[in-house]
Amino acid sequence: MFVKKLVGTDLHRLSVEDFKTAQKWPFAVVLDNVRSMNNVGSVMRTCDAFLCDTLYLCGITATPPHRDITKTAIGAENSVRWIYSESTIESIIALKSRGFIVYAIEQTSTSVMLQSVRFNDQPVAFVFGNEIDGVAAEVIHACDGVIEIPQLGTKHSFNIAVSCGMLLWEYARTRV
């Protein structure tokens, strides 16, 4: 059996210019005080892969240009629309005023497991917290709900970039 690995033009990827004008999926990602620039870059790359409407970088979350973001974003910092805000809550308020349902991705007493969430056509925003403390309590309270990614082992958290990838894959999988 011959298998050809697809590379370059075989993949039919959008150019940065085409990406910027392409129809985006009705979702946004919000990073609440994410400390690692490598995680920011990885999230940007994942947002590019799933045609994210907008990425909100809030609080201490770093913004491009920076070599540590570029290292993992691999150009997605040039394609994904991102907005910086000092306040995660102000970003959530702005999203809600545009008709978005906002979910924190966290473990709480009222979390709904990811596999149980049904996404409709309403725009949705996903809030991811920092690597140590997760999503801030006041940010969780500003959200419309909380989604939890199930975990079976001894650890009680995933890396934020991994969480974003799993969440956006499930969102995309259930919409296509």
pLDDT confidence of residue 120: 85
Using an 8 Å Cβ cutoff, are 159 and 129 in contact?
Answer: no
| Rounded CA separation 2/94 (Å) | 52
Q: How confident is the model at residue 176 (pLDDT cuts 50, 70, 90)?
A: low
Domains in the chain: boundaries: 22-149+157-175
Q: Which is more confident, 10 or 164? A: 164
pLDDT tens track for 63-86: 999 999 999 999 999 999 999 999
Residue 100 has pLDDT above 90, yes or no: yes
| Rounded CA separation 85/56 (Å) | 7
Q: Which element (helix H / strand E) includes 91?
A: helix 88-97
Q: Which is more confident, 127 or 7? A: 127
pLDDT confidence of residue 121: 86
Q: How confident is the model at residue 175 (pLDDT cuts 50, 70, 90)?
A: confident
Quote the tokens at residue 29: 């990602």
Quote the tokens at residue 75: 């150009």
Number of alpha helices (DSSP H) and beta strands (DSSP E) in the chain: 7, 7
pLDDT confidence of residue 157: 87
Quote the tokens at residue 123: 């725009």
pLDDT tens track for 41-52: 999 999 999 999
Give the residue-averaged pLDDT of 54-60. 98
| Rounded CA separation 69/105 (Å) | 22
Domain 22-149+157-175: CATH superfamily, name plus number: SPOUT methyltransferase, trefoil knot domain (3.40.1280.10)
Burial class of residue 66 in the structure, from the number of CB atoms within 10 Å of its CB (0-12 exposed, 13-18 middle, 19+ buried): middle
Q: In the chain, pLDDT over 90 holds for what percent of residues?
A: 89
